A and B are shown apart, each in its own frame.
Chain A
Amino acid sequence: MTGSTGTPPLPLDHVLRSLRERFADAAIEAEPGRRREQRVAVPAARLSEVAGAVRGWGGSLITAFALDEREPHGHFRLRYLFSMAQEDAVLTLESAIHAGDPHFPSVTPEVPAAHWLEREIQDMMGLLATGHPDPRPLVAHDGWPRGCHPLRRDFVPPGDMAWPPRFAFTPVEGEGVFEIPVGPIHAGIIEPGHFRFASVGESVLKLDVRLGWKYRGLETLARGKRIAPALEIAERACGLCAFSHALAFSGAVEEAAGVLAPPRARALRSLAGELERIYNHCGDLAGILLDVAYAVGAAEGQRLKEVAQQACDALFGHRFLRGLCVPGGVTRDLDDARQRWLRALLARLRVDVEELVRAATANDAVMDRLAGAGTLGPEPARDLGVVGPAARACGIGHDVRRAHPYAFYPDLDFQVPVRSAGDVSARFSVKADEIQESINIIDQTLLRLPGGPLLTERVVPPAGRSGLGLVESPRGLLSHWIRAGEDGTIDEWRMRSASHANWPAVAIAVLDNIVPDFPLINKSFNLCYACVDR
């Protein structure tokens, strides 16, 4: 793992100059991109070296994916997108991989955040990441027929559709080592995933997380669909972050089409995004308290989540805000009376959250469980590219609303709460503080709500144009990338959610904790499975 992590990001021009100087022999071509995007073509053999350098200069990996361009170019194309946070820039490293030899040198040893992404590229595109430290399949369960790579353009679904799940696990051996398999079906109303603990006594020695159970083939399904049905898919990739997904997808389509949503729509997008954060975080506080058997607090947290969701329903017609955000704007307005009502409701919610947090943190039995459990240090968090509240709980203050401002955030004045302990208690506090900050943001938005229309004219991106939408979802950085096809269709769509970035960190955070604390630690991250499996 490279150690150069704490350096502040350098301005993009400087990075480009350094790239050319340092890799003069590597035929690096920088192509000016739109607005804030810079594309750099790198020969595949040098990819990992260059990626390591970009990371050292302060780039953090947003996502990586492969495109099938065998027709007509005869190669696959790999893309690694880095956020250069200091100046709202995205640096994309691109490499062509010859169709006849579908290998590429893995970037993971240099940029560990690419770990799961490259495993997924292997499954979805059939390219092989040589030198990857753990090249097992990620989404593809071992029963998949050979040559089944759903994101290839010539993919034909296999005739034999029964895929009994069989996995290879890394065995852990030694005296007194036990293996505890858990899942995929869990004892509660929870999503499916398989966890395999290796433990000595009560302590966790290793945790192997196998997801992919909910794989619905969404990126393949969306191919060739018109924008409206594709949006419906994007918005259903995840239930609890539905609005963030709709927003990131709309952002990507708008960028490809070269349009901006009108000011009032942008403001309402920020407002709805914060409502989504509020109900998610209230639910998370409840979940953490439930897992330490603090029933009063859990019930209150669930009640607050319900209050926020009923408000979403009353104002926008959906408890998960589906159907509100579309490319070009939003579909519903808030009149003055409803704005006043929302402000009064949030003022009460603010006090209730304060009381809940005060009661919980004053309770020694609760704090005894939260403090010191599931500690994630800043170093592994940076290496793994952890995002969102989980990163901010271990001192990494990255927030997309700051780094790549969208919607109404450039006009707003807000704090990004950060803690340093990296344990369950820090994640609890960050989320509690973020609820208060979200209420601030909504108050400010309502005070400055611009007038005007809610939607721009038809948004139709020209064929071949691509766009990237970045959003700070309740769980952190969410990216949607699209390339437009003919007649207002979506030709390619790639999505990466915050949970995808954070899952590997859960496996690190539980190490040396006792097995019975796993549910609590897991809940404090509260990652989603659906948007990871897709």
Chain B
Amino acid sequence: MWEILLHSLRKGVVTAKPAAPLPHDLAPAPRDSAGPIELLGEALRSEIHRLFGRSMKLRHVDCGSCNGCESELQALLNPFYDLQRFGLDFVASPRHADALIVTGPPALHLEEALRLTDEATPRPRLVIAVGDCACSGGFCAGSFATRLGVHEVVPVDVRIPGCPPRPEEITRGLLKALRK
């Protein structure tokens, strides 16, 4: 116990600080930046307050992703991004959800599961497609075993493209969903 406390004191706060910052004289490999997580998160918090009073609950449905998008959704909850502090969380049942987060093209095998999950979600609900696959079929386009995006199965409110979108990009996309 004491060891853990001591350890935490030594380590300090890690949330929202870059976990692996490159020194200033080294440019990171090129990528587009979605902006600092802290600013996105604060904006998200005020939108959530405006729309839901306190918190927004998400239910994730994997419809045949490669697991990359899942990993980034899980990352949203790690100590670095820690989106829970802005009033956002993933729940275990669609009955408790304000929004569905869907990944994957979807695969035909999961169509029924997606439809049933959507039916089980109380209205009004948002449907957010995360990843190129979910937005348009992505690299699976042309396969006989998948669709060309989640919208072919359930109506989609917001798309967050990327393969996979980085956690900042997902956060920005969620913000966009709430401002709609």
Binding site for B on A (CB under 8 A): 141, 150, 157, 161-165, 184-185, 187-192, 212-218, 220-221, 229, 232-233, 236-240, 242, 283, 296, 299-300, 302-303, 305-311, 313-320, 322, 332, 337-338, 341, 345, 355, 359, 528-531, 533
Q: In the complex, what distance in Å separates the CA atom of A187 from the CA atom of B140? A: 26
Stretch of B42-50, B59-67, B171-179 lying at the A interface: B59-67
Say if the beta carbon of B146 comes within 8 Å of chain A: yes
Q: From DSSP, what is the main secondary structure of chain B's interface residues?
A: loop
CB-nearest residue of chain A to B74 = A189
Looking at the assembled complex, report how far the CB atom of B94 sits from the nearest CB atom of chain A, in whole angstroms.
9
Q: In the complex, what distance in Å separates the CA atom of A530 from the CA atom of B104? A: 10
Would A359 and B3 count as touching, CB distance under 8 A? yes
Chain A residues with CB under 8 Å of B73's CB are 189
In B78-133, the 8 Å CB interface with A consists of 78-80, 90, 92-93, 104-105, 107-113, 117
Would B23 and A217 count as touching, CB distance under 8 A? no
Would A188 and B145 count as touching, CB distance under 8 A? no
Would A303 and B109 count as touching, CB distance under 8 A? no
Would B145 and A310 count as touching, CB distance under 8 A? no
> Apart from A229-B139, A236-B66, what are 17 other A-B pairs with CB-CB below 8 Å?
A150-B145, A162-B108, A184-B110, A189-B73, A190-B70, A215-B145, A216-B107, A216-B143, A220-B145, A236-B163, A299-B78, A302-B75, A306-B20, A310-B20, A314-B22, A338-B22, A528-B67
Would B139 and A317 count as touching, CB distance under 8 A? no
Binding site for A on B (CB under 8 A): 3-4, 7, 14, 18-20, 22-23, 25-26, 28-31, 60-75, 77-80, 90, 92-93, 104-105, 107-113, 117, 138-140, 142-146, 163-164, 166
A239-B92 contact, Cβ under 8 Å, with A221-B142, A313-B28: no
Would A302 and B79 count as touching, CB distance under 8 A? yes
Would A217 and B79 count as touching, CB distance under 8 A? no
Q: In the complex, what distance in Å separates the CA atom of A163 from the CA atom of B145? A: 10
Partner of B92, one of A187, A303, A308: A187
Looking at the assembled complex, report how far the CB atom of B75 sits from the nearest CB atom of chain A, in whole angstroms.
6
Partner of B105, one of A184, A187, A216, A359: A216
Q: In the complex, what distance in Å separates the CA atom of A461 from the CA atom of B20? A: 40
Would A214 and B65 count as touching, CB distance under 8 A? yes
Looking at the assembled complex, report how far the CB atom of B164 sits from the nearest CB atom of chain A, in whole angstroms.
7
Q: In the complex, what distance in Å separates the CA atom of A161 from the CA atom of B108? A: 7
In the complex, which of the residues A215, A239, A242 has the most CB atoms of chain B within 10 Å of its own CB atom? A239
Q: In the complex, what distance in Å separates the CA atom of A299 from the CA atom of B93? A: 24
Q: In the complex, what distance in Å separates the CA atom of A310 from the CA atom of B7? A: 23
Chain B residues with CB under 8 Å of A163's CB are 108-109, 111
Q: Enumerate the 10 nearest inter-chain pairs by beta-carbon distance, A residue then B residue, closest first.
A: A239-B68, A187-B92, A317-B29, A157-B144, A217-B145, A310-B20, A302-B78, A239-B67, A239-B66, A214-B64
CB-nearest residue of chain A to B68 = A239
A sample of 29 cross-chain residue pairs with beta-carbon separation below 8 angstroms, ordered by A number, consists of A163-B111, A164-B112, A185-B61, A187-B93, A191-B67, A192-B110, A214-B62, A215-B108, A216-B140, A217-B146, A220-B144, A233-B139, A236-B68, A236-B138, A239-B71, A239-B164, A299-B78, A302-B77, A303-B80, A305-B75, A309-B75, A310-B20, A314-B29, A317-B31, A319-B166, A338-B26, A530-B65, A530-B67, A531-B66
